[in-house]
Structure 1
């Protein structure tokens, strides 16, 4: 079969008619957020290119109040950037390539708020989300974020939030990356490197924290082993399957940044079914953003008797 089709209804928010759907068809991955809420309002337009450093850390020029004065994207840096206010369920079907990052507008519901705005277009890259709220207006940077991170940003909004300010970039993934690196070739967000923070013997007197640099998409087990860090408990250090997902003993806890890793397969989920959701088999876990990994997490005896 030359294509893959998966459809999963992921979330229903009863009071907002919010539906998150997941559909995968090579070469793109899609999620849809649909609703029939009030039309949007355009927030600001822009001009002149800049680096991702400037985009992420400049104050937004169009804030509604002092509470909105956070370090959001300065959309005055390039005329392809724009900010628009939409309902939290904007009627957008989100897409991404197989890197599961740099999420863009794949489709729009014809009668949805985004489509009715006549501003948001197919292919626009999402860069930032900011809830419109009297309590919390903190911006969530989404440039290059993983698919899960973007979906989670919407799904975890406070129930009181009705509208969001979204920043989009009118262009391709490569054009956005080029813009982000225009002034700062060494920008952390665009140098293709991530940080893996490893905590060994957490809570013990000899607890140790090690910081590693790795390429985006690095395999957790291989990265740790290459740096002399043991991911196997007890005798499995010598009897393991060497990363073939056969022994199920290279268990780690992704304490932070789990949204920056690949999804669990059904096999991995079954192997770890008696453990917390943050537990992963390091041999099949790949990091696409910064993560914190705890080695030797507490494991029940049943894990070794499967």
Structure 2
């Protein structure tokens, strides 16, 4: 407490200004507006424009309409369903394709381990918040799976998980042999836009199996992914030259996630730019060849 019992009016004013100056700095560092958080790159996410998955308060008609869209467990004896808490104590993993998420490890004190049903290596196929509708996740990119958990409605407490007890290759084989667990097609469509914006612009539609390498698919079909003389000096898909750049204009979530090396190579370009030699497509995508590249890309 400050006492001004014998202070002059000037002294009171001076003391007040000192206190006000101090409080101004306290307030200015304590209260940070939302737009400032976003500018600083802090982990704020705005869900206002996103669909929030599966509130337990969904209306009955919606539940009834979607009830038959889940995976049919009778398709293969290695499929099973287990109900776990929203935080099941599972450490999720994936391979270098950053898709086909599986159980890498479990917390011994977690719900999954206590269930006695889930095992390390089991492939995640689907999740259904209790009272909601199924979300198919076979072959989904790792980021998409993690975002699905994040975007669950806060009212969701328990989830029905569908797992496949087997390897990624075995799971893919089931889908490819016509026992499509999700109704997934044996083929994906890759739409290629060449010479965009010029008089020579052309669109080519290719089909391939899920998991196809984008560079190999395009080159095998006579489509050049290398700009200028790099066509003759490229590394032939070894991720050494960084010149097979394409732009995934649609369907980027249907591809594997960028590695740190790829992200570094393309750091001055839009997020949709990829090195085709290390890009694998698991769903329909649209690819633009010869996207605009800054000179710095070739002078590093």
Place the TM-score, normalised by the shorter chain, in its bin: 0.5 to 0.7
Aligned to 2:205: 211
Among 30, 51, 62, the residue aligned to 1:67:
62
Among 131, 136, 142, the residue aligned to 2:137:
142
Contact map agreement 1:75 1:82 (CA 8 A) in 2: no
Among 267, 276, 292, the residue aligned to 2:270:
276
Aligned to 1:301: 295
How far does residue 118 in structure 1 lie from its aligned partner after superposition? Answer: 4.6
Matched, 1:92 2:86: no
CA spacing shift, 1:184–1:122, aligned 2, 3 Å: closer
Structure 1 distance, partners of 2:89, 2:135, is: 20
Of Structure 1 and Structure 2, which has the larger fraction of its residues in helix?
2
How far does residue 252 in structure 1 lie from its aligned partner after superposition? Answer: 0.7
SS across alignment from 2:277: helix
Of Structure 1 and Structure 2, which has the larger fraction of its residues in strand?
1
Aligned to 2:281: 287
TM-score (ref. length: structure 1) = 0.60
Superposed, which structure 2 residues align to 1:147-162 within 5 Å?
147-155=142-150, 157-158=151-152, 160=154, 162=156
Aligned residues: CA RMSD? 4.0
Among 69, 74, 79, the residue aligned to 1:77:
74
Post-superposition Cα deviations, 1:73-105, rounded to whole Å, max 9, x if no partner, equal 244635654444444332112245666554333
Structure 1 distance, partners of 2:248, 2:195, is: 14
Structure 2 distance, partners of 1:222, 1:182, is: 23
Contact map agreement 2:196 2:202 (CA 8 A) in 1: yes
* More displaced 10-residue stretch of structure 1: 274-283 or 101-110: 101-110
Structure 1 residues without counterparts, runs of 5 or longer:
1-11, 15-62
Among 97, 112, 115, the residue aligned to 2:113:
115
CA spacing shift, 1:204–1:274, aligned 2, 3 Å: same
How far does residue 111 in structure 1 lie from its aligned partner after superposition? Answer: 2.6
